[in-house]
């Protein structure tokens, strides 16, 4: 099983890999820089090389960069739109340098333009990003679009909205999807019963294609089904619950995909506990 969590890079990339090894995980998600700032300094010359070496030694088989939260690929504000496009280009470059295959991003919010217009903006943004020299240099890196909880005017709460973007971007082979369990549940997709999960995955397959789902974010939800609230909870302590996660992590169409936890970090024991909860659920353990 490919399993890991989102880890802070505040102590440097090197410490992040060390922490991953302590947690005995083989998958990792990071921000490539301060997630609340547009500014991304260049990597130090040996930083990328060290990270790649350490990752190999540490047997971290899968890694993904999560983009900063400021990005809104649908922004109606030209300045903000440009900053968002630029930030995504920078992340692709960074991923290329670090030999990381995926850049995961929230697609953004339409801010009153309406869903259609918002999604068209997202397509425009992704086309611009992938046509850039940076994206061409980082030619093996893919963009993953994460489903949202549908707070406010957030786009991507339905699989049909993600599907719209996937069908309209020019470079389809470079765009995939990340399924966040908390977001899906909050958006009204039931994952807690065999029947609910099958229906959810059938819709995901129809609108997106299961093959294009490259990553799962495993988060329980503080709020009930369809609440449209993006509040993550520890595995088994929220409204998806332990039996929901048992179904999810063992499902034949999901079990081979990388699983990344973005559960709350109350203290040092939070990550080990949530990882242990998932490991205990797998039938092949
Ligand atoms: Zn996310
Ligand atoms: Mn997520
Ligand atoms: Mn979230």
**Arithmetic mean of pLDDT, 32-43:** 85
The ligand placed nearest to the CA atom of residue 106 is 1
Residue 147 C-alpha to ligand 2 middle, in angstroms? 8
Minimal CA–CA distance to 121: which of 113, 132, 177? 113
**Arithmetic mean of pLDDT, 246-266:** 98
pLDDT tens per residue, range 203-212: 999 999 999 9
What is the C-alpha separation between 150 and 148, in angstroms, rounded?
5
The ligand placed nearest to the CA atom of residue 230 is 3
Tokens of 169: 């971007």
Q: Which residues have CB less than 5 Å away from ligand 3 (the ion)?
A: 230
What is the C-alpha separation between 120 and 76, in angstroms, rounded?
11
Minimal CA–CA distance to 217: which of 180, 269, 268, 258? 180
What does the pLDDT read at residue 222?
A: 98
**Full set of structural domains in the chain with CATH:** 3-279 (3.20.20.150)
Share of the chain above pLDDT 90, in %: 92
**Pairing verdict, β 3-6 and 213-218:** unpaired
Residue 230 C-alpha to ligand 1 middle, in angstroms? 10
Model confidence band, residue 164 (pLDDT cutoffs 50, 70, 90): very high
Residue 183 C-alpha to ligand 3 middle, in angstroms? 6
**Arithmetic mean of pLDDT, 214-228:** 98
The ligand placed nearest to the CA atom of residue 181 is 2
What is the C-alpha separation between 161 and 144, in angstroms, rounded?
14
What does the pLDDT read at residue 108?
A: 98
pLDDT of 169 over the 80 cut: yes
Model confidence band, residue 31 (pLDDT cutoffs 50, 70, 90): very high
Which active-site residues does the annotation give? 36, 66, 69, 106, 146, 180, 183, 217, 230, 232, 262
Residue 49 C-alpha to ligand 3 middle, in angstroms? 31
| Cα torsion 18, 22, 27, 31: sign | negative
The answer to pTM > 0.85 is yes
All residues at 6 or more sequence positions from 247 whose CB lies less than 8 Å from its CB, including other chains: 191, 192, 193, 194, 197
The ligand placed nearest to the CA atom of residue 231 is 3
Residue 163 C-alpha to ligand 2 middle, in angstroms? 18
Residue 217 C-alpha to ligand 1 middle, in angstroms? 8
Cβ–Cβ contacts within 10 Å for residue 205, how many?
15
Model confidence band, residue 284 (pLDDT cutoffs 50, 70, 90): confident
Residue 230 C-alpha to ligand 3 middle, in angstroms? 5
Model confidence band, residue 285 (pLDDT cutoffs 50, 70, 90): low
């Amino acid at each position: 099983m490919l399993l890991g969590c989102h880890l802070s890079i505040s102590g440097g990339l090197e410490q992040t890999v060390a922490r991953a090894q302590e947690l005995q995980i083989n998958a990792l998600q990071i921000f490539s820089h301060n997630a609340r700032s547009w500014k991304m300094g260049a990597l130090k010359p040996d930083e990328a090389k060290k990270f790649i070496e350490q990752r190999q030694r540490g047997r971290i088989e899968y890694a993904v960069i999560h983009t900063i939260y400021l990005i809104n690929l649908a922004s109606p504000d030209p300045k903000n739109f440009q900053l968002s496009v630029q930030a995504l280009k920078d992340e692709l470059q960074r991923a290329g340098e670090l030999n990381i295959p995926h850049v995961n991003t929230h697609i953004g919010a339409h801010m009153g333009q309406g869903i259609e217009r918002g999604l068209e903006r997202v397509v425009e943004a992704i086309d611009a990003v992938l046509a850039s020299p940076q994206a061409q240099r980082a030619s093996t890196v893919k963009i993953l679009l994460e489903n949202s909880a549908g707070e406010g005017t957030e786009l991507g709460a339905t699989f049909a909205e993600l599907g719209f973007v996937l069908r309209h971007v020019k470079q389809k082979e470079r765009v995939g999807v990340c399924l966040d369990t908390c977001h899906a549940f909050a958006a009204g997709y039931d994952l807690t019963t065999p029947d609910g999960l099958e229906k959810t995955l059938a819709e995901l397959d129809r609108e997106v294609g299961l093959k294009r789902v490259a990553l799962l974010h495993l988060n329980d939800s503080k709020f009930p089904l369809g609440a449209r609230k993006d509040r993550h909870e520890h595995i088994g302590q929220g409204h998806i619950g332990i039996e929901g996660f048992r179904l999810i992590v063992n499902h034949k169409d999901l079990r081979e995909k990388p699983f990344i936890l973005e559960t709350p970090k109350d203290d040092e024991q939070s990550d080990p506990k949530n990882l242990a909860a998932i490991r205990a659920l797998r039938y092949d353990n």
